[in-house]
Amino acid sequence: MLSAHRVSFGYGPAGRSTPTLGRVVGDISLDVPPGSFIGILGPNGSGKTTLLKVLLGQRELAEGTVRVDGRAPGGLGSRIGYIPQQRAMELEVPLRARDLVGLGLDGHRLGIRVGRSRRAQVDAALAEVGATEYANMPVGRLSGGEQQRLRVAQALVGDPSVLLCDEPLLSLDLANQRVVSQLIDQRRTEAATAVLFVTHEINPVLPLVDRVLYLVNGQFRVGTADEVMTSEVLSELYGTQVDVLRVRDRLVVVGAEDPGVHCEQGT
39: domain CATH number?
A: 3.40.50.300
Residue 206 lies in a domain: yes
Number of structural domains (the chain) is: 1
Domain that residue 50 falls in: 2-255
Nearby residues of 62 by Cβ (< 8 Å), 6 or more positions away: 8, 9, 10, 24, 26
Residue 152, in any domain of the structure: yes
Instruction: Report how far residue 199's alpha carbon sits from residue 84's, in angstroms, rounded to the nearest whole number.
Output: 12
Does 266 map to a domain? Answer: no
User: pTM value?
Assistant: 0.84
Per residue in 85-113, is it b (16+ CB within 10 Å) or e — as a string?
A: ebeebeeeeeebbbbbbbbbbeeeeeeee
Give the model confidence (pLDDT) of 199-215 as tens digits. 988 898 999 999 999 99
pLDDT, tens only, 163-186 = 999 999 888 888 888 888 999 999
Residues 6+ apart with CB under 8 A from 17: none
Residue 125: its pLDDT value, please?
A: 93
Whether 261 is covered by a domain: the verdict is no
Domain contains 196: yes
How many alpha carbons fall within 13 Å on the CB side of residue 133?
A: 3
Residue 46 lies in a domain: yes
The answer to whether residue 264 is domain-embedded is no
pLDDT at 11: 79
Q: Is residue 36 part of a domain?
A: yes
Divide the 267 residues of the chain into consecutive groups of 10 and give the mean pLDDT of each group.
Answer: 87 54 79 94 89 87 86 74 78 85 69 66 92 93 89 91 91 87 93 93 91 92 94 93 88 64 43
